């Protein structure tokens, strides 16, 4: 072997060993992080028990309308279906007097009742921490004062959101819009939706419309299509997005009929919310696959939640699992200052540490943008580790993903 080639090969092998050692801690932990797929057998057992107790058939269980109609919303229903301690039932009872809750039978089957730290339970079932006064506001994003018409929220020059409903497959305990859950489920009136669409028609700079709620996929196909068609008919609206957690909380909603309807309104994008690898079950994968086959790009908007995913290894595992499902990790949101949810908040440093442990340690596709929603409706602000250390006349001093400091020439 040529001497230079030999030296280069030795250098490359030494570097490869360094890189291998740098990810060893994640490889050791990765196999211990549970996913919805490797918990399939346990989930199926839970499902069978719940179905038997609800006297549900397979056809009913696999029907999204049945899942919505049979969401568990009371303690009496809950304790019939899963083993929950009396202590926790009492805590739920205290919370439900102030904050409404609901969980689909499907998502209930993901809960491990024997695990006090079950991440599904923390996302879905009320906690007494919701009643502790950690501060926060009902509307920290000031959506009420950024609503120029109908059910619109507008924070940016060329895009806005329309809220179609207050209904969800599950009322997430960290929800930023818990103030809108109210006492009853209701879709917003056609009059309000029409008012929103008329506003868009009159403002030609609006090129991007996001449909949200609640969850837009709790509407029937025909109800949702009414809005999609009206938006598609507006010449200056270039793209439509749908924000939905139904592929995760009620994956039965993603039917062939729904996907065939959505296909007519390209370019269409769907953003989902997966917060932990346990959320990604076989059913969730099937739902996501149907959306992808319809040619609809999917992004994930995770929320950084204390005790659920505030760990670099868990977040890396989540993002890698998402890519396997053909979902692009899009955002990691810092949990908002919403009253009753502050116990989920981490420090911003925790989020930065997670980003430090993603960049360079996994593919760029698996790296979302870490976002703080500026209070007062001032919009999304990206938060990154500092890689630009300083700048001179003809150079910039940068820190690499490994922490090495180098001078990079900056051409004038």
According to the 3-state scheme, what is the secondary structure of 238-271?
CEEEEECCHHHHCHHHCCHHHHHHHHHHCCEEEE
366 contacts 328 by C-beta, under 8 angstroms: no
Enumerate the H helices of 70-181 as residue ranges. Answer: 75-81, 86-96, 105-108, 119-124
* 111 phi/psi in degrees, rounded to 5: -75, 135
pLDDT tens-digit series, residues 344-390 = 999 999 999 999 999 999 999 999 999 999 888 888 999 999 999 99
- Rounded Cα distance between 171 and 126, Å, is 10
Q: What is the pLDDT of residue 176?
A: 86
Give the length of the chain.
412
User: How much is the pTM?
Assistant: 0.94
Distances (CA, A) of 107 to 71, 249, 251, 289, 382: 9, 6, 9, 19, 31
Does the domain at 143-381 match CATH 3.20.20.70? Answer given as yes
Q: What is the pLDDT of residue 268?
A: 98
Q: What is the pLDDT of residue 309?
A: 98
36 contacts 277 by C-beta, under 8 angstroms: yes
* 370 phi/psi in degrees, rounded to 5: -80, 125
Q: What is the pLDDT of residue 379?
A: 87
Cis peptide leading into residue 225 (ω within 30°): no
Q: What is the pLDDT of residue 1?
A: 63
pLDDT tens-digit series, residues 281-302 = 999 999 999 999 999 999 999 9
Q: Residue 150 corresponds to which tokens in the numbers above? A: 């109908």
Q: What is the pLDDT of residue 91?
A: 86
Mean pLDDT of the chain: 94
Sign of CA dihedral 38, 303, 26, 289: positive
Q: Put the strands of the sheet holding 395-399 in their side by side order.
A: 388-391, 395-399, 405-409
Distances (CA, A) of 148 to 180, 186, 205, 226: 18, 21, 15, 22
Q: What is the pLDDT of residue 139?
A: 78
Regions of the chain where pLDDT drops below 50:
none
* 91 phi/psi in degrees, rounded to 5: -65, -40
Q: Return the C-alpha torsion angle 101, 107, 110, 116, nearest 10.
A: -10
242 contacts 84 by C-beta, under 8 angstroms: no
Which DSSP letter does residue 187 get?
A: B
| Domain ranges across the chain | 1-32, 40-116, 143-381
267 contacts 325 by C-beta, under 8 angstroms: no
Count of CB atoms within 10 A of residue 285's CB? 19
Count of CB atoms within 10 A of residue 7's CB? 11
């Amino acid at each position: 072997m040529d001497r230079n080639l030999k030296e280069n090969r030795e250098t490359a092998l030494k570097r490869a060993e360094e890189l291998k050692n740098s990810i060893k801690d994640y490889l050791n932990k990765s196999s211990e992080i549970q996913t919805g797929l490797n918990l399939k057998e346990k989930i199926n057992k839970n499902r069978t028990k719940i179905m038997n107790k609800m006297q549900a058939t397979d056809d009913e269980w696999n029907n999204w309308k049945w899942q919505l109609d049979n969401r568990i919303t009371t303690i009496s229903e809950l304790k019939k279906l899963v083993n929950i301690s009396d202590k926790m039932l009492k805590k739920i009872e205290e919370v439900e007097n102030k904050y409404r809750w609901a969980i689909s039978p499907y998502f209930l089957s993901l809960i491990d009742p024997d695990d006090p730290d079950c991440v599904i339970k923390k996302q879905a079932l009320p906690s007494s921490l919701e009643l502790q006064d950690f501060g926060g506001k009902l509307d920290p994003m000031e959506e009420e004062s950024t609503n120029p018409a109908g059910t619109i929220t507008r924070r940016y020059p060329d895009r806005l959101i329309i809220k179609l409903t207050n209904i969800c497959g599950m009322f997430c305990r960290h929800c930023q819009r818990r103030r809108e859950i109210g006492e009853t489920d209701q879709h917003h009136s056609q009059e309000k939706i029409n008012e929103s669409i008329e506003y868009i028609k009159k403002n030609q700079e609006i090129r991007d419309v996001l449909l949200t709620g609640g969850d837009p996929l709790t509407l029937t196909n025909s109800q949702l299509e009414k809005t999609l068609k009206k938006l598609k008919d507006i010449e200056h609206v270039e793209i439509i997005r749908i924000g939905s957690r139904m592929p995760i909380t009620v994956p039965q909603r993603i039917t062939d009929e729904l996907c065939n309807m959505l296909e007519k309104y390209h370019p269409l994008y769907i953003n989902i919310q997966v917060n932990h690898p346990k959320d990604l079950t076989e059913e969730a994968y099937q739902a996501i696959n149907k959306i992808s086959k319809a040619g609809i790009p999917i992004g994930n908007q995770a929320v950084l939640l204390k005790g659920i995913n505030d760990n670099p290894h868990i977040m890396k595992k989540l993002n890698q699992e998402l890519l396997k499902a053909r979902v692009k990790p899009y955002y990691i949101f810092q949990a908002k200052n919403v009253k009753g949810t502050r116990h989920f908040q981490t420090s911003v440093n925790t989020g930065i540490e997670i980003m430090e442990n993603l960049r360079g340690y996994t593919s760029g596709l698996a790296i979302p943008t870490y976002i703080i929603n500026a209070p007062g409706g001032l919009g999304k602000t990206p938060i990154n580790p500092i890689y630009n250390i300083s700048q001179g006349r003809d150079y910039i001093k940068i820190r690499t993903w490994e922490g090495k400091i180098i001078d990079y020439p900056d051409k004038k």
